[in-house]
Amino acid sequence: MEQPFSLKFRGMSFLSVFMVLFFNAAESYGWHDRTHLAIAQASGFERWYSAAAPDVVKSRAAFRAIEEKNHYFNNNAEKPVTAEMVLGQTERFNDPEDEEGHLYGAIIGSVRDYKELKASGKYADYPLVFCAHYAGDLSMPLHNTPYDTFNKERHSINDGIIECNALNNIGFIQRSIYDIRIESEEDLAAEIARIAETARKLGRKIRKENRNMSQAEVYTQIIHSASLFRAVLQYVGRNPC
């Protein structure tokens, strides 16, 4: 399917995943499964078909407390996201007591896990599966803003805005991916902060206008995610497919 609408923004790329998992009211959902899969496939990740797996993990009670906090940052203070803020979250990766969440630190933590396993000669792909998912969640506005009444009432609807057509538009997403150069963890933190800010600002906008995202807005966001994860693959020495 060719470009379904006009989209311009430093280039971009998209990933879609559908999966409706029912959790308690305090839990964030994330893009649905097919949207996550689309993001990962468009980015060139050979294990794109596993990109929704982290949501499956957090659906199990035994793992939920640890894993769910890796999928969002509520930013209750509504502060602009900086690279320093991102790096500050790394020590909270997998912390079940961190109610505000630490999505940004989880992206860096999963990259560190991959590099550590790779250096030890062990099978290292699974941390990248988690990273693909977290990179997808990064562009979702309601994963970067307070979990208030607006967020709770509209979260699932906004997770699935493009669920029915995401996998049909992988070519469009790939053509829209823009170049990101990551040569250090500091570079990665800066890019995470930049994309988080696009999501946070869009979250504020739809709150102010009391509405859901448009399909065009969702594609704009997921293209950020696909572009970032493609850059992560290159950064860790994995050539995107």
Per residue in 168-226, pLDDT tens? 999 999 999 999 999 999 999 999 999 999 999 999 999 999 999 999 999 999 999 99
Across 195-204, b (16+ Cβ under 10 Å) vs e yields bbebbbebbe
Structure tokens at 163: 């669920």
What are the C-alpha distances in Å from 35 to residues 11, 17, 131, 161, 223? Answer: 19, 3, 15, 9, 11
CB atoms within 10 A of CB 186: 13
Q: What is the pLDDT of residue 241?
A: 86
User: What pLDDT does 230 receive?
Assistant: 99
- State the pLDDT at residue 10: 43
Task: Give the pLDDT score at 63.
Answer: 95
Within the chain, which residues score under 50 in pLDDT?
1-27
pLDDT of residue 7: 40
In DSSP terms, 17 is beta-bridged to 33, 34
Beta bridge partners of 34: 17
pTM of the model: 0.88
CATH class of the region 33-235: mainly alpha
**In which residue are the tokens 């057509």 written?**
165
Is residue 30 within 8 A of residue 135, CB to CB? The reply is: no
State how far the Cα of 48 lies from the Cα of 35, in Å rounded to an integer.
11
pLDDT for residue 213: 99
Predicted local distance difference test score (pLDDT) of residue 1: 41
pLDDT at 29: 60
Ramachandran bin of 174, using left for φ above 0, alpha for ψ from -120 to 50, beta for the remaining angles: alpha
- Looking at residue 93, the DSSP 8-state letter turns out to be T
| Domain ranges within the chain, ordered by starting residue | 33-235
Q: What is the structure's pLDDT at 14?
A: 35
Angle between helices 33-43 and 215-235 (to 10 degrees): 50
